[in-house]
């Protein structure tokens, strides 16, 4: 999944070795996410997996907050933070988990990268930012590529709603990012991330029944995969990405996120023995090229959606 945070502090400078290493860390963390979800679903229901993952992330973020210190939210901002938590954590991860019941890890990583396509549609239809002809072509091509990925992953005759749930997760993340971008000046990045994770986790408690029993019955390898999900993609990667954005050009840094799907496919082949079909690979190329073209609209400079 693609994450943006407001930088904690510092000025933008030329990327150095630390920034490159942090970027590689982020790519590896988020590439692991669909693999960890696939493993976690062996023992947990989708809602339970989301809750377990973010309970771990919430505890970890609480420790970070105690060490670094964060701002207290104003009472009037609590509904806004709850909405961020709903879209970024609750809806996004429940849709993602249900979707991955029927979509391979590699295909899921590609579909999750369609977020900028939905951001463009939201900007046009909801926030009244007129989309250009170039943007419309990119969006349509990207959605066509997503359709090719879904068809290639399951086979045309076996297509169902699971792929649409992954796209719903991407749409949910687009809503989160659009809302965060318009109000992020109120707090620093760490504060927003912490309260987004905590509020989203509270909303996930609707899935709490049976979670302790599932945890006891799950194998050690499954619980380890969930622990890794909670600490790395859901917590440390957020912090590392904020560091990257604080110390490098945002547009250039965002380009590195296109390494996530091929990295996820490689991980899935090694860990899960998944082999993407040629249609999935072709669809992935269409989606990623469309999103890349969307960011590099001629005559307007790099786009950060």
Q: Please report the pLDDT score of residue 258 as a whole number.
A: 85
Sign of CA dihedral 249, 252, 255, 259: negative
Q: Give, rounded to a whole angstrom, the gap between the first and last alpha carbons of the chain.
A: 14
* DSSP, res 74: P
pLDDT at residue 159, rounded to an integer: 63
The whole model's pTM is what? 0.86
**Which residues lie closer than 8 Å to 84 by C-beta, 6 or more apart?**
176, 179, 180, 192, 195, 196, 199, 200
Distances (CA, A) of 17 to 11, 20, 21: 16, 5, 6
Domain ranges of the chain: 17-295
Distance CA 2, CA 191 (A): 19
pLDDT at 14: 52
Count Cβ atoms within 10 A of the Cβ of residue 250 and give its class: 0-12 exposed, 13-18 middle, 19 or more buried: middle
Question: pLDDT at position 6, please?
Answer: 42
Q: Which residue has the tokens 């859901």?
A: 234
Look at residue 138 in the predicted model and tell me its pLDDT. 92
Contact 98, 165 (CB under 8 A): yes
Burial of 63 (0-12, 13-18, 19+ CB in 10 A): exposed
In angstroms, the CA 99 to CA 160 distance is 10
CA gap 7, 190 in Å, rounded = 8
Which tens digits make up the pLDDT trace of 241-255? 878 877 877 667 777
Q: What is the pLDDT of residue 253?
A: 72
Question: What integer pLDDT is reported at residue 186 of this predicted model?
Answer: 79
Q: Which segments in the chain show pLDDT lower than 70?
A: 1-15, 155-159, 183-184, 250-251, 298-305
- Backbone phi, psi, residue 104, to 5°: -65, 160
Q: What is the dihedral of CA 221, 223, 225, 227, to 10 degrees?
A: -140
User: CA 252 to CA 258: how far, in whole Å?
Assistant: 11
Q: Which residues contact 72 (CB under 8 A, 6 or more apart)?
A: none
Model pLDDT, residue 244: 83
């Amino acid at each position: 999944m693609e994450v943006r945070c407001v930088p904690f502090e510092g000025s933008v400078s030329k990327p150095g070795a630390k920034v490159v290493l942090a970027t590689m860390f982020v790519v590896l963390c988020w590439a692991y996410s669909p693999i960890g979800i696939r493993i976690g679903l062996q023992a947990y229901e989708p809602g339970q997996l989301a809750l377990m993952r973010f309970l771990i992330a919430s505890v970890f973020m609480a420790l970070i907050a105690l060490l670094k210190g964060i701002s207290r939210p104003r009472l009037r901002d609590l509904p806004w933070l709850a909405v961020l938590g709903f879209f970024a954590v609750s809806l996004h991860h429940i849709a993602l988990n249900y979707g991955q019941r029927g979509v391979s890890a590699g295909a899921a990583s590609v579909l999750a990268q369609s977020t900028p396509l939905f951001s463009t549609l939201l900007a046009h239809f909801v926030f009244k930012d007129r989309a250009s002809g170039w943007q419309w072509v990119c969006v349509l091509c990207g959605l066509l590529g997503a359709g090719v990925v879904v068809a290639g992953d399951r086979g045309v005759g076996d297509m169902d709603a699971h792929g649409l749930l992954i796209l719903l997760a991407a749409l949910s993340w687009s809503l989160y990012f659009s809302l965060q971008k318009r109000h992020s000046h109120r707090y620093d990045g760490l504060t927003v991330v912490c309260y987004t994770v905590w509020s989203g986790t509270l909303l996930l408690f609707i899935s709490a029944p049976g979670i302790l029993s599932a945890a006891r019955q799950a194998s050690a390898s499954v619980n380890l995969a969930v622990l890794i999900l909670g600490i790395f993609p859901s917590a440390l990667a957020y912090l590392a990405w904020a560091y990257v954005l604080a110390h490098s050009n945002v547009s250039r840094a965002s380009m590195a996120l296109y390494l996530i799907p091929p990295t996820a496919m490689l991980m899935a082949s090694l860990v899960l023995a998944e082999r993407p079909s040629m249609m999935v690979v072709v669809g992935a190329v269409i989606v990623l090229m469309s999103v890349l073209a969307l960011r590099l609209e001629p005559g307007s400079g790099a786009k950060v959606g």
